[in-house]
Amino acid sequence: MAVSPSVTMDAIDAGSSVLLLVDFQSRLMPAIHDGQNVTARALLLARVAHALDIPVLGTEQNPNGLGPNVEAIRARCAVTLPKTRFDACADGLVEALHAARPGAGQVVVAGCEAHVCMMQTALGLLRAGKRVWVVSNACGSRRPVDHAAAMDRLDRAGATLVTHEMVVFEWLRDCAHPGFKDVLGIVKEAG
């Protein structure tokens, strides 16, 4: 993939990205520290991704046992991959990403639990040769210490840690972007 002069190798490129929302399951979310805000940030990312034509995929860990994702998340995912393994790559995620956007080398990841399924999936994506951005404030664990340990490990493994607004404005790059006003409206509405 040719990189335009305005895009550095460390930049998130909307044309090469897929948004992955890992295991925002309704039975799990009440136990997640700051779960409402974590979910709200993931939803904001999904809304912006839709506005910018960026594919959104989801995963559900053992949906027969843990139930489906929160409905608002599920509704914004073009595909929701059921899985039993903690690393979704072992259950077909890389192929699903390729089907959603052939050749996409960049994956923006948010999810739960940060230190289990989200982390193992992000590590699997790195092993698969993907460039991974982990949206730290749209990831959650039951305990803050587990979230912090996951972010530290992912950072050391080569993922780039970002916030939801960093992603949004990097996808846009320019206030002259045709979607800027719509996206800014989504960001302002969320608060």
Which CATH code fits 14-190? 3.40.50.850
Dist. CA 23–CA 85, nearest whole Å = 12
List the one residue out of 58, 73, 54 whose CA is nearest residue 22. 58
Please tell me which residue, 4 or 44, carries the higher pLDDT value: 44
pLDDT at residue 1 tops 80:
no
Classify strands 17-22 and 56-61 as parallel, antiparallel or unpaired.
Answer: parallel
Dist. CA 88–CA 180, nearest whole Å = 33
Dist. CA 84–CA 77, nearest whole Å = 19
Q: Which pLDDT does position 141 carry in this prediction?
A: 98
Q: What percent of the chain has pLDDT over 90?
A: 84
CA dist list (Å): 40 to 28, 37, 73, 92, 122: 15, 5, 9, 27, 21
